[in-house]
Structure 1
């Protein structure tokens, strides 16, 4: 079935414990120690954990209190996104030495289409090795890579030999590999979907491949066709070098819960300034303002309003935020507030396409 599709050479680069690694790079006294970026033992959530901390079960998105419980020796440091963006720019500059078809997913990972590349190198495996070496030379950080025929498989492959490793899955290896994989490791299968698949007797790619398209669509709706295709190595999404940002947000978790709207307004003013700065740095404005409220019991409420005109100033944002804040009474005290702006004025530009030809003899394709 793969022979019916153009074969592309896709690399997924994923930095190893990026935020934590940057902190350990900048602060030698933290090297080799269990480290959590963001959060604290009292409040907030972990944004990233060093590999030393991961050995204890500490993970991103975990509460600081739970992280401390798992690792009593854990060191918490504050996030420094200006520094992370600075290093990310250095890494992306390296990517563009090899191809213009770069699709950033976040500060620490990206897809690269190297089917045709600036180095004229037919081996995506060798290109990935070069890129990882260049990243180490320029930034001092380690990166892992996955190399395969599409974005879906490349992303899965990049996790196989982490940290500081890479994995290539050539055309003939994709389907056999996916058949042996636990479905929970399929990119896009979250906790809820995993449990549903398990209940249906779908534990591995082989089990998934054995289900008909009709069965999968019946149980998973529109996602059914996605699962049907990807387990057969089919994923047609191209590397999109001009990903359009859909929203921009900032939020703060408070050291102590607050219940007064007056205090909330003060905090929201600070958040609005941060949002304004980010919008203006990217020359963006938006029409929809969303207020995010996380209560003491961790329940989350959002309130939104869409305007007729674009805004990007703190004053314009706060005018809407005040209206949303007083829209209804608070259920209880608040531990987090956030503001996001969406419906941005960055209409999707025409995407670059890479011309590829269908290759019938897969085994002769150099990867």
Structure 2
């Protein structure tokens, strides 16, 4: 059934999509049918995977997984959309709310690049209110964000918390105040891909009181299912309904859904909690060790599973790490991060390898400076 009301969050949806019915897949029809002959599937299994069920299209929104994720995230199942990682959620939100060539989204750089990529692919303007680099790390100027969003008619404000690559956890009350100020004007999307490592509460429970807040969650990070591509959008159920109609018919492969269900069982989640704590402990140890190295200009405090690091010779450090088989993220393409690398937190052995390489290369740089010839009359 189409939705025609423009009350609340639906007023932010593109007018031409408010009555959009989307594609009605064959799997969404038929109820408890016994003989399924409506989707043009093969009548025989593939010999490589007999009795796997893979010849059938999967549920568009796997009910058991959707309910399990909703329970884990503390929302109603009707407030959750399962998709192909957070990337699909970002893309769907932009497509549903932003008119190509007309509307804008707001980002706070340095931040996750897919917000801008999806917007530009959709023909949507990207407005940037950069984070402020302070002695305590990167901070968000929420007043500037709100003012700019109003001035530029931004339809969506993307906030990453903890930020990627900043590692900054945004204040809950500031997010709530921003949503209140922009109510009826913009959707505030909080990307919580790394929130488990912050060991802090989600802002998802603000959705009930603020229908212009949406939250992105993923199983790719703390739950170690990056290859399964399972992400969720948490939002007011009216907006979830719109996103479902904009989504591809079968976004979640059955094997991924089955793996995800097992990965968020109570037993598996207890194990995940232990892995997260180990990651947090390693983050603290690596942070302290990096701060003690000569040639490391700055290590930013982080509430995620990575550290943002500035060094005296980032090109040389990056190349030496690669030569040692250690691949880190080069952040120098960001305007404000011309000397920075992002280092994911690994196992104790992996982190020790990173430190060994850094000690060697930075030690060489220090030695080179100490023996540099003095420039004088006879130089």
With structure 1 as the length reference, what TM-score do the two structures score? 0.28
Question: Greater strand percent: which structure?
Answer: 1
